[in-house]
């Protein structure tokens, strides 16, 4: 509550005051959001979105939800990348059998 969430999708879904559905180019969207007043940018999306943002080095924190369903197959969340990204766990939350993990990127010492 009180935060705007952006869901990048190709589907036509009506937005609300706090949840914005968009198919805007990620680089353009993030550039536009960074120019607006406010602190954090929250973007919800699947593997394609995550991997595009990783490639652009635009993720400061990861919120990963573990939902108790074994799919058997599916789309990997992370593609292979040229660099290792070290994370630090900063919060966990458990509700309705779901576990939310919040990580921030650790500063590289390289």
Residues 6+ apart with CB under 8 A from 12: 21
More confident residue, 76 or 54: 54
Average pLDDT over residues 86-90: 95
* Entry pTM: 0.68
Q: Tokens 């630090």, residue? A: 88
Residue 108 pLDDT: 64
């Amino acid at each position: 509550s009180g935060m705007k969430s952006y869901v990048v999708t190709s589907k036509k879904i009506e937005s609300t005051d706090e949840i914005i559905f968009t198919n805007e180019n990620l680089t353009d969207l993030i550039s536009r959001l960074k120019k607006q007043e406010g602190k954090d940018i929250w973007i919800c999306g699947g593997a394609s979105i995550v991997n595009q943002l990783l490639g652009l080095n635009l993720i400061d924190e990861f919120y990963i939800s573990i939902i108790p369903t074994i799919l058997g197959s599916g789309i990997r969340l992370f593609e292979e990348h040229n660099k290792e990204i070290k994370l630090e766990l900063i919060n966990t939350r458990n509700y309705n059998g779901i576990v939310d993990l919040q990580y921030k990127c650790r500063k590289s010492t390289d």
